[in-house]
């Protein structure tokens, strides 16, 4: 719970209700945040705004600096050539075509096949096994791969192990750090890692307790001006605000971190509290909004749920697709891309409904961007998706 001055009343702070989908003659519209006449211009400009769910086509500062368009004034010429624009459009068309051709059953079948093709061998996680009795692993069956693990340099204990892996995208080989939720025994290690990697953003995708089970322990002060001391690492909550512009319950905090050598840094912490474990949320736009908020980070973005694989994996795969598009790289083989991601963080995305949700969230993004052409086929896919999720939910209740 956050305490401090509030300019908006409690009613305004209620979670935004998930908007129902509406259809137009020309497209399937899932949001009215963008005027149709501005869609193509906004896609080309790739503007960062909280109400536009479109990936930035040029992410690095160098490319932004060298862009032919340095202003957002109305009427300015497009910054991306027709060849580049056509390339992006073709890649989106290809992605949608592959998704539609596979359908719900095909996507489900290919996800199940990944279980066997991406299962790591014991030789791939030897350090994880060596730390089974160290109190540093939350789950015994969620391994941490050796090849991409984050090493805690000059850790006071002499043990450089933390259950965390670097995961790369076209933007950076260390775009994300996917990690488990901190334990009582690893809070210091977690903040040690944040300081070492110069992290600017943390996205937390789990609640502390879900269905009666502990999924994370509190590892930061939730109240404004409160300071917590984790073995010499001081963490102070500077600000706390519930983001009422999100279609889900997200709290944003600004945390000041002071290391034992008295150096300070500011970390922005986003806490998405209503995404159930092993399940999917009731919003397609929320992951896109969150990724937009952190995308400009030049240092690794820390993502964690409880195990750091399910909900975390959904965000990673969504961002990978959007970055590949922005670099004009093909992204239609979602199963291949997930297989590559699992070489960096084992078991990313836990089940078939999360895998399908990633497709649905991306389809939402492309729809908002005005990129859906096969309207009838997409409508059928959405209907099939909703029916599948409904059937899965009922089956779970009856289990």
Active site residue 331: no
Cβ(181)–Cβ(210) below 8 Å: no
Instruction: Please give the Cα distance from 104 to 153 (Å, whole number).
Output: 45
Which runs of E-coded beta strand occur in 146-296? 149-151, 161-167, 176-179, 201-204, 209-210, 213-214, 227-230, 233-242, 250-258, 264-272
**Phi, psi at 147, each rounded to 5°:** -65, -25
Distances (CA, A) of 282 to 29, 125, 192, 224: 17, 35, 34, 29
Q: What is the DSSP letter of 16?
A: P
Strand partners, 164: 179
Instruction: Please give the Cα distance from 205 to 200 (Å, whole number).
Output: 17
Instruction: Please give the Cα distance from 291 to 322 (Å, whole number).
Output: 10
**Phi, psi at 368, each rounded to 5°:** -60, -35
Residue corresponding to tokens 């790289």: 329
Q: Which of 305, 314, 331, 365 is catalytic?
A: 305
Residue corresponding to tokens 């052409």: 373
CA terminus-to-terminus distance, the chain: 35
Beta-strand pair 301-304/201-204: parallel
**Phi, psi at 225, each rounded to 5°:** 75, -5
Distances (CA, A) of 208 to 91, 126, 134, 213, 381: 40, 29, 22, 8, 35
Which runs of E-coded beta strand occur in the chain? 22-23, 28-29, 149-151, 161-167, 176-179, 201-204, 209-210, 213-214, 227-230, 233-242, 250-258, 264-272, 301-304
- Residues with catalytic function: 305
């Amino acid at each position: 719970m956050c305490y401090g001055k509030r300019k908006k009343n409690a009613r305004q702070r209620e979670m935004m209700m998930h908007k129902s989908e509406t259809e137009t003659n020309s497209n399937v519209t899932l949001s009215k945040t963008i005027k149709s006449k501005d869609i193509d211009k906004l896609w080309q400009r790739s503007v960062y705004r909280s109400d536009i769910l479109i990936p930035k086509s040029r992410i690095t500062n160098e490319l932004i600096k060298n862009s032919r368009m340095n202003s957002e004034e109305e009427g300015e010429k497009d910054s991306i050539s027709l060849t580049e624009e056509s390339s992006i459009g073709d890649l989106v068309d290809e992605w949608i075509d592959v998704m539609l051709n596979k359908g719900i059953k095909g996507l489900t079948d290919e996800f199940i096949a990944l279980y066997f093709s991406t299962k790591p061998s014991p030789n791939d996680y030897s350090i994880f096994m060596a730390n089974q009795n160290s109190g540093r692993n939350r789950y015994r069956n969620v391994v941490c791969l050796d090849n991409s693990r984050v090493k805690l340099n000059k850790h006071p204990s002499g043990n450089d192990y933390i259950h965390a892996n670097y995961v790369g995208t076209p933007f950076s080989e260390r775009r994300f750090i996917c990690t488990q939720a901190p334990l009582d025994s690893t809070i210091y290690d977690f903040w040690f890692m944040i300081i070492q990697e110069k992290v600017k953003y943390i996205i937390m995708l789990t609640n502390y307790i879900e269905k009666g089970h502990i999924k994370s322990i509190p590892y930061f002060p939730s109240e404004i001006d409160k300071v917590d001391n984790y073995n010499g690492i001081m963490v102070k909550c500077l600000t706390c605000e519930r983001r009422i512009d999100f279609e889900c319950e997200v709290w944003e905090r600004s945390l000041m971190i002071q290391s034992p050598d008295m150096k300070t840094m500011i970390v922005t912490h986003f806490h998405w509290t209503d995404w159930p474990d092993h399940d999917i949320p009731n919003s397609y736009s929320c992951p896109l909004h969150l990724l937009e908020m952190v995308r400009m980070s030049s240092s690794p973005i820390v993502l964690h749920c409880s195990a750091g694989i399910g909900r975390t994996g959904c965000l990673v795969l969504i961002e990978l697709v959007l970055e590949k598009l922005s670099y004009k790289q093909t992204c239609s083989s979602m199963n291949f891309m997930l297989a590559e991601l699992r070489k960096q963080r084992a078991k990313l995305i836990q089940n078939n409904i999360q895998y399908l949700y990633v497709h649905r969230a991306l389809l939402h993004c492309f729809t908002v961007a005005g990129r859906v052409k096969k309207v009838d086929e997409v409508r059928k896919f959405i209907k099939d998706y909703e029916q599948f999720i409904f059937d899965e939910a009922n089956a779970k209740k009856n289990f």
